[in-house]
Amino acid sequence: MYPFIRFVKEMVKFRSAPPLKVDGTHISTHMCWPWDLDPWIELNNGRTLTLYDLGRIPMAARTGLIGILRKKGWGITVAGNSVRYRRRIRAFQRFTMVSRVIGWDGRFVYMEQSMWRGGECCNHMLLRSAVTGAKGIVPPAEVMLAIGGDTESPPLPDWVMAWIKADAERPWPPVLPPDVKGSLPG
């Protein structure tokens, strides 16, 4: 189940926080609860992705994006991500989440988020998102203009550019193995 209570707590907690520049860093602290665990008694990898919302959405509110989405009738969606897991987060351990926008291109906004415990990075995610409107994807420069920010992106790091290039090589839709083709419904 989605962590609605925790989400509301984060939104209330940061409602009076100072505004954040689009490329500013949002820092939040969280707890790994028993319902976040997998059978190995550590933070579930899927739950990690859900908990990253608790950093991204308050960050978006602090930058003014949430208000602009409501005003313009736009939405926002995750369009891809890559996560690197390196250290376990176990039940009842506190961790700090660091969230920031890295930059954007003609279609997507790129963000990085990480979870830290005791000065060690536990996991790190690169995420791209798209703002959507009635006509499809809203160009990020238009979104930045609406927020009152710079329409030109900071240069994207080489590792982000390499990820974008690698992801563009991946076939869509995926190629199904021959033994699956007859098994899919109509």
Over residues 47-87, the pLDDT tens digits come to 999 999 999 999 999 999 999 999 999 999 999 999 999 99
Q: Which runs of E-coded beta strand occur in 46-182? A: 75-85, 94-104, 109-117, 120-133, 136-138
Report the pLDDT value the prediction gives residue 183, as an integer from 0 to 100. Answer: 86
- Provide CB contacts within 8 A for 84, sequence distance 6+: 123, 124, 125
- Provide CB contacts within 8 A for 101, sequence distance 6+: 22, 23, 59, 63, 109, 110, 111
CA distances from 110 to 31, 38, 174 (A): 26, 28, 23
pLDDT over 90 at 21, yes or no? yes
Q: Which pair of tokens denotes residue 37?
A: 């665990």
Q: Is the pTM of this model over 0.95?
A: no
Q: State the Cα–Cα distance between residues 176 and 58, nearest whole angstrom.
A: 39
Measured in residues, the chain has a length of: 186
Q: Which pair of tokens denotes residue 176?
A: 């199904």
Percent of the chain with pLDDT over 70: 100
Q: State the Cα–Cα distance between residues 181 and 81, nearest whole angstrom.
A: 27
- Average pLDDT of the chain? 96
Q: State the Cα–Cα distance between residues 83 and 114, nearest whole angstrom.
A: 9
Using a 10 angstrom Cβ sphere, with 0-12 exposed, 13-18 middle and 19 or more buried, the burial of residue 60 is: buried
Which amino acid is it at 184? L
